A and B are shown apart, each in its own frame.
Chain A
Amino acid sequence: MHKKKLITAGIAVLIIALIIGGLAVALRSSTTASEMTAEEAESFVNSRLDAIAATQTTQYIAEKNRITVEEISYGDEKDILLDCTVQTLDLHGAVAPYYDTFLSADERKETGMYKSKLHFKMEFEPLLMELAETAAEKEVSCRISLFDTHEGLVLYASDEVVNAVFGGLIDIKNEILPRTSAVLTKADGTEEIREFESDNIKLGFLDCLQVPQNAKPDTATALVRFWNDLKQDFHRNFIEANRWLTIVKGLWTTIRLTVFALLLGIVIGFLVAFVRATYLKQSKHGFLLRLVNSICQVYLTVIRGTPVVVQIMIIYFVIFMPLGIDKFLAAVVCFGLNSGAYVAEIVRGGIMSIDNGQTEAGRSLGFNYMQTMFYIVLPQAFKTVLPALANEFVVLLKETSIAFYIGLGDLMYSINAIRAATYTAFMPLIASAIIYLVMVLILQHLVTLLERRLRSSER
């Protein structure tokens, strides 16, 4: 029984996954980039590198560079891989010997204020330019990736590419950045270690060699993009602004509401069932029994003959709100009354289904009507109606979502609040469906366990 349910749930999840997957595949555009020739690639790379060289020195190097594309290959997604040889200048070799000379510059002005990094940049730029002009030529090979994105071809200037085509620029950066001091060689040949008081001197130096690096472009396929959007949606709907807390609060209200309504429903249901079964079983009826039975009849007819939404709105807006009684109580009363009507009919059926011989055996031992009901009929009736009752409780749990109509802060209300705040419908609504489904499955599992325990006591 339980296994069957798990399998059903598994199949449902599988179907949903298949639909989503299928959609993603359908949306996914062709994955290979359009082909290009070596010349086109070279000129594209050259122009792009010129464009990203942002300082005097890097521009100088970019102009001197000569890039030869040796081989073009195409990646898994929409990327083009260029294996290149680059004729460039060995900037690293030219600059490295002078690190200390640069970095031991005075950090303060005559006024005692720190020099800014811009100040240092302007101071170092011409000197670096001179060094660049003396730099030796060198040849390196590297792989440059181009990506065919929806905004056109993009060159991904990774550390590796920048280092190769700008003469070891990243090496320089990596050697400078960790430094905390520089050695100053004085005119008389003595040396002095200067601890940096600020990072301005390093940053000013590095600004002279700045190459803006760009993040790897988004060439993701529809499936990946869908997944990313999903993650982002998830974050926005549940993590951001602690929205999950709202859901937990709403869920707590839903659970409390269901439990209280259920208890009230059981009490009402058993009482009404008791009256109805007694009335139906006996041939002669006292006045009191006739009266109570009529009241029960009216109750059953009205509750089962009108929609729950109408009931809850009447109970709250017409009766409870004018009296100043709160929504939660109104909802408990409404769902308790509602579920009581269905429980009553289920339990009555259960009572009537118990063989009359059981009652006779009880009465012949000397039990009165109530005792016979309590010790003999009801325990057996309860067992037979348990599956139907469980079903009614599952219905009740789901039905409490209607409390939303009177603005009670239950699960559905929280979900809707999130929907309104994030302008997304998919995530919050799917989440509510999953939460309800999980609760229902848990409930059904518990009932199966209970049923099995009750059944084992008879075999």
Chain B
Amino acid sequence: MSDNSIIRTEKLSKCFKGKIHALREVDTEIHRGEVVVVIGPSGSGKSTYLRSLNLLEEPTGGRIFFEDTDITDPKVDINRVRQKMGMVFQHFNLFPHYTILKNMTLGPIKLLKSPKAEAEEKAYALLERVGLRDRANAYPSQLSGGQKQRIAIVRALCMNPDVMLFDEPTSALDPEMVGEVLDVMKGLARDGMTMIIVTHEMGFAREVADTVFFMDEGTIMETGTPEEIFSAPKNPRTQSFLRKIL
């Protein structure tokens, strides 16, 4: 364990009711500023792994350390921990009854107790960055998929998270909109954000990832740099998976 570790899982396991072992004793370590891309076949447990990190999925075994706190400890206020872990979903999950601005400032105002003006100023700055400043007062239903996902990203950023979790952020998008979302994520990576990304965009993974996790059957089969994983996979499972999709 190095000092700049931000998330560490120890024997993380998740067993769903129907005796489905979605995660089997997963040990991982993620460092500050690291961009981790998780790849693997469907049903391999990528989403479950990611969602376990902020306890949206409650692990049935093992421990998760976030900034050196064991967040599986029932005494830990998980809501405070989640404020530090932004999450972006495949289906955006914007709040349809609030404007874009309210979507973004709701968390900071209610949870961080930021003054409204300050929260809005930050929201506008982030909107500016993703080129959607003029849509601040629109409702989510008035936006395209790509725009929605960009808003979902900046909504999470408004909380000043230390880590960003992405679960297939581009899978629900029309192909022509994938680029605009990936660009935002690349920008984030450049700025040094710690990111864990589940994706099927291999080109993107190769470009931005510091580390690639290959998951199958609830375990991390292989870990390495994009170079190692994509060019010279060691595990036969990885090899066959990459053969299928590349």
Give chain A's interface residues, CB within 8 Å of chain B. Answer: 283, 355, 357-358, 360-368, 371, 375-376, 379-380, 383, 457-459
Contact = CB atoms under 8 A, between A and B. Distances in A.
Given A379-B97, A457-B97, A458-B96, A364 B56 contact: yes
A108 B60 CA distance: 122
Given A364-B156, A367-B110, 9 more contacts: A361-B95, A364-B82, A365-B107, A365-B111, A365-B156, A366-B79, A367-B107, A458-B96, A459-B141
Interface size range on B against A: 20 to 34
Interface string B83-114: 10111010101111100000000110011000
B54 interface: yes
B177 to A, nearest CB: 19
Nearest to A357: B93
B75 interface: no
23 contacts: A283-B17, A357-B89, A358-B93, A360-B93, A361-B87, A362-B95, A363-B79, A364-B54, A364-B86, A364-B87, A365-B82, A365-B107, A365-B111, A366-B79, A366-B82, A366-B111, A367-B107, A375-B110, A376-B95, A379-B97, A458-B97, A459-B139, A459-B142
Contact of A365 (B91, B96, B139, B159): B159
B19 interface: no
Contacts of B93: 355, 357-358, 360-361
For B87, B93, B107, B155, the residue with the greatest tally of chain A CB atoms inside 10 Å of its CB is B93
B243 interface: no
B88 to A, nearest CB: 9
Nearest to A382: B97
B76 to A, nearest CB: 13
Contacts of B54: 364
Contacts of B141: 458-459
Contacts of B244: none
Contacts of B106: 365, 375
A376 B111 CA distance: 14
Contacts of B94: 361
B85 A364 contact: yes
Contacts of B111: 365-367
A242 B133 CA distance: 66
B83 A366 contact: yes
A367 B93 CA distance: 15
Interface string B66-84: 0000000000000110110
Nearest to B96: A458
A370 B61 CA distance: 27
A459 B141 CA distance: 6
Nearest to B95: A376
Nearest to A366: B83
Contact of B139 (A357, A358, A375, A457): A457
Given A376-B95, A457-B97, A457-B139, A363 B82 contact: yes
Contacts of A358: 93, 95
A88 B107 CA distance: 106
- Which are the 5 A-B pairs with shortest beta-carbon distances? A366-B83, A361-B93, A364-B87, A357-B93, A365-B107
Nearest to B56: A360
A200 to B, nearest CB: 88
A32 to B, nearest CB: 72
B83 A365 contact: yes
B107 A366 contact: yes
A459 B96 CA distance: 9
Contacts of B142: 459
Contacts of B79: 363, 366-368
Contacts of A366: 79-80, 82-83, 107, 111, 159
A358 B107 CA distance: 14
A362 B82 CA distance: 10
Contacts of A364: 54, 56, 82, 85-87, 156
A375 B109 CA distance: 12
B52 to A, nearest CB: 13
Nearest to A383: B97
Contacts of A458: 96-97, 139, 141
A283 B83 CA distance: 24
A181 B139 CA distance: 91
Contacts of A379: 97
A48 B17 CA distance: 106
Contacts of A376: 95
B59 to A, nearest CB: 14
A249 B96 CA distance: 45
A135 to B, nearest CB: 97
Most-contacted residue by chain B among A361, A364, A371 (CB, 10 A)? A364
Contacts of A365: 82-83, 106-107, 111, 155-156, 159
A320 B111 CA distance: 46
Contacts of B87: 360-361, 364
Which of A362, A366, A380 has the most CB atoms of chain B within a 10 A radius of its CB?
A366
